[in-house]
Amino acid sequence: MPRWAFELEYDGTPYVGWQRQINGPSIQSVLEDAIARLEDTPIACTAAGRTDSGVHAAAQVVHVDLTRNLPPDRLRDAINYHLKPNPIAIIRAAPVPDDFNARFSAIGRAYRYRILNRPARPALLTDRVWHISRPLDAPAMHAAGQFLLGRHDFSSFRAAACQANSPLRTLDRLDICRTGDMIEIVAEARSFLHHQVRNMVGTLKSVGDGSWPPERLAQVLAARSRAASGQTAPACGLCLTGVRYPIDPFTPRKEPFF
């Protein structure tokens, strides 16, 4: 069976997250049901990241084994037709080798978190940002974030329900910058713990509003205790923006894999 990789974007607001669950619609269930309508058989998809309820994606990567051998653009358009009217869309489709795994082949993931920092609540960006009316010091937040770079035990930023075997992770990038009323936090790593990005953002908010000095982030990290860090930032501001692989599965190839 040909294996395919899909790059998806979606609005996570109406869903319980990526993973199929019994308590509500998930991105996985909607996508699998749409593909099954094309394939006439049950389908199982694997994603690069299991985004939580309310978390968005601009470039989620999924792999799936199909029976049909269609041109990539036709396959994309056919599945997108069956995805209507859900806020989920396949942006790119590409055949990949049988050993490609959207989750385990990935060597890097990037997330962006957006904070709207102004007195007025959002109208156009509802469910897309964390609205904080109190002024935040973005340079102080950036300085604090640099204490988290590198390989560390990130237990202080790990959700209690995290199922990872180890709290050790290598944070490659954590940049915080302001453009007008918008503060953007960009985080990159090979992989993240459950709620790690949201917990880091919630902790950085305590620096931004002046409650904590930037240096406290080093103490929080060293504590290796969730109780030492700040709040969990709301899911609505978080977006998966990219997944890296040793070979980009969407790079045009001269010959197909099948």
What residue ranges define each of the domains in the chain, with the CATH number in brackets? 3-105 (3.30.70.580), 108-241 (3.30.70.660)
Residue 17 to residue 51: CA distance in whole angstroms: 6
pLDDT at position 258:
42
pLDDT at position 20:
87
Residues recorded for the chain? 258
Can you give the pTM of this predicted structure? 0.94
Q: What tokens does 234 get?
A: 């709301």
pLDDT at position 42:
85
pLDDT at position 162:
86
Query: Of the listed 40, 52, 175, 248, which one is catalytic?
Result: 52
pLDDT at position 160:
86
In this prediction, the residues of the chain whose per-residue pLDDT falls under 70 are 252-258
**Residues near 237 by beta carbon (within 8 Å), at least 6 away in sequence:** 113, 114, 115, 128, 129, 130, 201
Tracing tokens 């290796």 back to the chain, one arrives at 224
pLDDT at position 253:
53
Residue 85 to residue 229: CA distance in whole angstroms: 40
Does residue 40 carry a catalytic annotation? no
The burial class, CB within 10 Å (0-12 / 13-18 / 19+), for 56 is buried
